[in-house]
Structure 1
Amino acid sequence: MREFKIPLPIARVLLDPVFRVTLNTRLPVAVQRALLDAVSLIQLVPDGSVVQHLQLGGRPAERVIAETAIPGSRTRAVPPERAAGAILYLHGGGYVVGSLTTHRSLVAHLAQETSCAVYALDYRLAPEHPLPAGLDDAEAAFLDLVHNVGYRPDQICLAGDSAGGGLALALAQRLIERHEMTPAALGLIAPWVDPTQVPAKARDLVINRAWSQACAAYYLGDGAATDAGYAPLTGNLLGLPPTYVQADVSELLHDQCCQLVSALRGAGVHVRFTETRGLWHVAQLQAALVTEAALALSELAEFLREAIQPVSIDDLR
């Protein structure tokens, strides 16, 4: 892949109409999904990426690995054959849109930066499948990685963006409560951890309030808003693994991310919180196109790599 990068100000100008059109409550959900899949095709995967189609927990999934590490990667990723663990990635999209296609570039960059296998899950979406369908699928996928693929729970990091970040947090809580399993780490990109909260602003570059509220209602269905699976920010945060949280200061979810970080630290969880300026909600999706987005994704990769691939004596020689 011949890399080309778009200057940050130009990227913002180009992306604004894309999200205004696609994340629009006036469009049927099926149309939103199709448009996002089509637009995401410009987000290329790095050279050397190997995408394998499989099933996890009875759902379609992709296992993405990098044949070679990025030369000069600031994460100093080790070769894939020495990788000590895996990442289960849960895509964002308000629990309503988003797919393996929309997030393949992000996942492939994460695989290359960490030299770990990254498993992306096609969990069921609302409104066809409201809570707890997506959480059930994520739980089944994690257990499949443990019981059938052969990873230990502490060899698997959970990561996700936006709604997928909320789902990753809810999954970690469920794994600890139901199975006494603690993942190696959590990597949360602008996680949506309490859909009951109404954003103070009408929109940011990507998300608008009307669309997010519609998604929240679709996902809740006939469930209870007090369910920690729906709003994991209100659930038990004790015993969670080291957690990375990233948000841009301009986005609708920034305040919610600050609340999460404060609550996690109050529960004794080790947290790394990165706030960017000038990016947008889940800019990491455009890591193939925007240098600043790629750097933000590298920070997440470094955190996850260190959680499951600690430096060995060989690395110090």
Structure 2
Amino acid sequence: MREFTIPLPIARAVLGPVFRLTLNARLPVAVQRALLDAGSVFQLMPEGTIVQHLQLGGRAAERIIAETAISGSRTRAVPPERAAGAILYLHGGGYVVGSLTTHRSLVAHLARESSCAVYSLDYRLAPEHPFPAGLDDAEAAFLELVDNVGYRPEQICLAGDSAGGGLALALAQRLLERHAMTPAALGLIAPWVDPTQPPAKDRDLVINRAWSQACAAHYLGDAAVTEPGYAPLLGNLIGLPPTYVQVDVSELLHDQCRRLVSALRGAGVHVRFTETRGLWHVAQLQAALVTEAAMALSELAEFLREAIQPVSIDDLR
């Protein structure tokens, strides 16, 4: 479908009440999920997007590519059939909500801008499936991309937003520790990397403290907060791949993201860090509607593309 854009102030005015309604700890989880899926109809995909349904690690997944070669891409990436790797994307939603549907538009824009195949995973959610179910699913998906699809670990980037960003970081740690595998790069959009840390303020445009703490409790279940992978910020960061962290200064997770960047740099990890102003938590979901959000997502796509494909053939001509 053809995209259109709306001014930033209007987007903020519309989205604020929507998220106050949907991400509400007093609503049953099933209702939150249904409302978010229904609202996703307004997050359009770029023209020429191809969505292929498949299974990864025993879970439903989608492989999304951009059929129209890169005429609309800001990154000048090569077409998918000549790309050197893929991206495994883990959606956000506090480990409780979110789906392939809610993030299909974001993933499609990421596929267009990176010109890579992007695999989006329907990992299990809490409270029905608390930690470490989602991490186990992400691990199984990555290993299937290596063992059955044929990618090498260094040809796969991990990306995710919010809780999905935390899950991507935890997955990178587990791959390194259990399998001696290092992905090509990490692309983290406002990652939630320490659910043990309550937000310092009550809310931002999208999420609020009560909802966040309810999600953290659902995700933890009967596990201990010290379990490796639950709060990956507190785990071992040495040896992780190049990482790009994006966050808006207005977000509840802004301070946590700054802590992550500092800790990664202290561990010797190459980090790129962007702090936007005037956007909101995971504004990249609205890349089809808001120019500033699309630009942020384009920068992330370029970082990931260059991690797995440093120089394209066309660049050498």
TM-score w.r.t. length of structure 2: 0.99
Q: Is the 8 A contact 1:5 1:290 kept in 2?
A: yes
TM-superposition CA deviations, 1:139-180 (whole Å, max 9, x none): 000000000000000000000000000000000000000000
Q: Which has the larger displacement, 70-79 or 188-197? A: 70-79
Residue in 2 that maps onto 1:130: 130
Letter in 2 for 1:209: R
Does the residue aligned with 2:106 lie in a helix, a strand or coil?
A: helix
Letter in 2 for 1:167: L
Residue in 1 that maps onto 2:80: 80
Closer, same or farther: CA 312–5 of 1 in aligned 2, 3 Å:
closer
TM-superposition CA deviations, 1:81-114 (whole Å, max 9, x none): 1110000000000000000000000000000001
In structure 1, how many angstroms separate the alpha carbons of the residues matched to 2:312 and 2:219?
43
Residue in 2 that maps onto 1:301: 301
Residue in 2 that maps onto 1:163: 163
Does the residue aligned with 2:73 lie in a helix, a strand or coil?
A: coil
In structure 1, how many angstroms separate the alpha carbons of the residues matched to 2:254 and 2:311?
33
Residue in 2 that maps onto 1:36: 36
TM-superposition CA deviations, 1:58-98 (whole Å, max 9, x none): 00000000112342532111111111000000000000000
Q: Is the 8 A contact 1:68 1:80 kept in 2?
A: no
Does the residue aligned with 1:196 lie in a helix, a strand or coil?
A: coil
**Is 1:227 matched up with 2:227?**
yes
Letter in 2 for 1:82: R
In structure 2, how many angstroms separate the alpha carbons of the residues matched to 1:201 and 1:59?
36
In structure 2, how many angstroms separate the alpha carbons of the residues matched to 1:72 and 1:127?
40
In structure 2, how many angstroms separate the alpha carbons of the residues matched to 1:72 and 1:2?
12
Q: How does 1:100-249 map to 2 (within 5 A)?
A: 100-249=100-249
Residue in 2 that maps onto 1:283: 283
Closer, same or farther: CA 283–198 of 1 in aligned 2, 3 Å:
same
Does the residue aligned with 1:236 lie in a helix, a strand or coil?
A: coil
TM-superposition CA deviations, 1:215-272 (whole Å, max 9, x none): 0000000001012310000000000000000000000000000000000000000000
Letter in 2 for 1:19: F
Q: Is the 8 A contact 1:286 1:293 kept in 2?
A: yes
Letter in 1 for 2:282: V
TM-superposition CA deviations, 1:186-237 (whole Å, max 9, x none): 0000000000001011000000000000000000000010123100000000
Letter in 2 for 1:211: W
Q: CA deviation at 1:181?
A: 0.3
Q: Is the 8 A contact 2:36 2:102 kept in 1?
A: yes
Q: Is the 8 A contact 2:73 2:112 kept in 1?
A: no
Q: Is the 8 A contact 1:69 1:113 kept in 2?
A: no
Root-mean-square deviation over aligned CA pairs: 0.8
Q: CA deviation at 1:310?
A: 1.4
In structure 1, how many angstroms separate the alpha carbons of the residues matched to 2:204 and 2:314?
46
Q: Is the 8 A contact 2:78 2:312 kept in 1?
A: no
Letter in 2 for 1:184: A
Letter in 2 for 1:240: L
Letter in 1 for 2:37: D
Q: Which runs of 5+ in 2 are unaligned?
A: none
TM-superposition CA deviations, 1:19-59 (whole Å, max 9, x none): 00000011100000000000011101101100000000000
Number of residue equivalences: 317
Q: How does 1:18-33 map to 2 (within 5 A)?
A: 18-33=18-33
Q: CA deviation at 1:314?
A: 4.0
Letter in 2 for 1:181: M
Moved over 4 A (4+): none
TM-score w.r.t. length of structure 1: 0.99
In structure 1, how many angstroms separate the alpha carbons of the residues matched to 2:237 and 2:203?
29
Does the residue aligned with 1:158 lie in a helix, a strand or coil?
A: strand
Letter in 2 for 1:122: D
Does the residue aligned with 1:100 lie in a helix, a strand or coil?
A: coil
Give the percent of matched residue pairs that are identical in Structure 1 and Structure 2. 88
Does the residue aligned with 1:112 lie in a helix, a strand or coil?
A: helix
Residue in 2 that maps onto 1:53: 53
